[in-house]
Homo-oligomer: A and B are copies of this chain.
């Protein structure tokens, strides 16, 4: 029984991929039998490297983000979990089942070593990125001396309305993929492997990546309907990434060299209010035209922003309280961040509106010098604050990439 998988038509450019349900029993490991297919091969993002994947990887379409609390108090158990997770992540990012005793070849008397819902699906550019929250560096695991100074809870910002149940966490897992089922499968299997050692504190799904992270990608739109992240850092800006994203050994804690800091902010958007606002007001709030995304005063999306250009009334075309002005590097002593957020709709809010917004994720080398001053400026001056509310918040130190023989966090736990 050979069939074209449902997702192949969408997940691959141009390649119908034949699957053999019965034959899969013989193959055992690879979820999609023909992963040697050229399309399938390009669908795999390498797991190992100097930096973790999922940061400068071209942003995939779908996100499942989970924050976990560690429930074991045993350091050895935590290290064992991180090794188990690393092994599972190597397999899942390669498009394989978590273990050899999954749905296909599992022993009937035991639970399968893979939950199965990603069988027949390709790797879908899955990346798994892990981070360590400030709370992991308390006295439970002997890590206090290794906590970087920059890894503290974010300060309270004006108009924050944070829900503790959507904030914080000892660990985070960012799963990005071009198929939501693959991202969900990955987080679910890591959570499953953590049973008795860690549990989910909160989790967030996202879609329609709200940033591009490579010059090969066009700029997507957020739920305000605007192109978002035109001037985002890109994977190709390697020099700037070294300066703005990657932690260096000289920054303080050598275990974090090659890593970064991940800021997560769940930003509820009051889209109903926004939708009743004039196009002129919307464009002034953002600082760009809605149609093609050009900065106000410019013609095309990628025309350089000119914060000085004045309109007929002598006022700057890009208003003083517009989002792009306040977030611009030239307003912030040259600092930039790598944005990698996703749109979300989490049902409704109970009072007649969609619970919609942006799950903001950014990576930066030093949140104290980058994200925090940027958000201080935005939260106090940004005209957009009338239409948004920050409802969740977390900061994680993202360790460097994993070697072929290493495990997530080895530079910390072997330090």
A residues whose Cβ falls under 8 Å from a Cβ of B: 1, 3-7, 9-16, 19, 21-22, 24-25, 61-62, 64, 66, 69, 103-112, 114-120, 165-166, 178-181, 184, 187-188, 191-192, 195, 199-205, 207-209, 212, 217-218, 220-226, 271-272, 275-280, 282-283, 290-293, 299-302, 343, 345-348, 350, 352-356
Query: Smallest distance from the beta carbon of A148 to chain B beta carbons, Å?
Result: 28
With A16-B13, A181-B208, A221-B119 known to touch, is A111 a contact of B347 (CB < 8 Å)? Answer: no
A218 CB contact (under 8 Å) in B64, B116, B120, B218: B120
Q: Is A345 touching B203 in the complex (CB atoms < 8 A)? A: yes
**Cβ-defined contact, A272 with B111, below 8 A:** no
Partner of A195, one of B118, B276, B292, B300: B276
Inter-chain CA distance A3–B200, complex, in Å, is 39
Q: 5 interchain pairs (CB within 8 A)?
A: A66-B348, A104-B291, A112-B282, A166-B347, A180-B208
Best-surrounded residue of A191, A222, A355 (most CB of chain B within 10 A): A191
Residues of B within 8 A of A200 (CB): 348, 352-354
Across the interface, name the chain B residue whose C-beta is closest to A182: B208
Partner of A110, one of B5, B187, B278, B345: B278
Residues of chain B within 8 A of A21, CB atoms compared: 291-293, 300-301
A165 to B95, CA, bound (A): 38
Measured in the bound complex, the distance between the Cα atoms of B225 and A271 in whole Å is 36
Is there contact, CB below 8 Å, between B14 and A111?
Answer: no
- Cβ–Cβ < 8 Å partners of A119 in chain B: 221, 225, 291
Known: A1-B300, A290-B112, A345-B203. A350 touches B165 (CB 8 A): yes
Copies in the complex: 2
The residue of chain B having its C-beta at the shortest distance from the C-beta of A292 within the complex is B21
Least CB distance from A178 to B in Å reads 6
Whether B10 lies near A103 (C-beta < 8 A) is no
Q: Are A103 and B279 in contact (CB under 8 A)?
A: yes
Distance between Cα atoms of A99 and B41 in the complex (Å):
42
Give me 5 other A-B pairs in contact (C-beta within 8 A), A10-B11, A184-B356, A203-B354 excluded. Answer: A66-B348, A119-B221, A165-B350, A180-B207, A199-B353
A13: chain B residues at CB < 8 Å are 9-10, 12-14, 16
Separation of A271 and B343 alpha carbons in the complex (Å): 25
- A201–B299 Cα distance when bound, in Å, is 42
Measured CB to CB, the closest approach of chain B to A230, in angstroms, equals 11
| Contact status A204-B112, CB under 8 Å | no
Rounded to whole angstroms, the CA-CA distance of A225 and B120 in the bound complex is 11
Task: Specify which chain B residues have a CB less than 8 angstroms from the CB of A355 in the assembled complex.
Answer: 203
Asked if B117 and A205 sit within 8 Å, CB to CB, the answer is no
* Bound-complex Cα distance A275 to B117 (A): 12
- The complex places the Cα of A25 from the Cα of B299 at a distance, in Å, of 12
Known: A5-B218, A278-B108. A22 touches B184 (CB 8 A): no
Query: Does A22 contact B120, Cβ atoms closer than 8 Å?
Result: no
Most B Cβ at <10 Å: residue of A25, A120, A218, A356 = A218
CA distance A12 to B13 in the complex (A): 7
- Out of B6, B61, B277, B346, which one reaches A10, CB within 8 Å? B61
Q: Are B348 and A290 in contact (CB under 8 A)?
A: no
Contact between A22 and B181, CB atoms less than 8 A apart:
no
Q: Which residues of B contact A178 (CB under 8 A)?
A: 10
CB distance from A211 to the nearest CB of B (A): 10
Task: Please judge, given known A-B contacts A278-B108, A300-B1, whether A202 and B348 are in contact too, CB under 8 Å.
Answer: yes
Residues of B with C-beta under 8 A to A7: 61
Within 8 Å by CB of A188, from B271, B282, B352, lies: B271
A112 to B362 alpha-carbon distance, docked (Å):
30
Q: How close is A97's CB to chain B, nearest CB, in angstroms?
A: 10
CB atoms of B1 and A278 under 8 A apart: no
Whether A347 and B1, one on each chain, are in contact in the complex, defined by CB atoms closer than 8 angstroms, is no
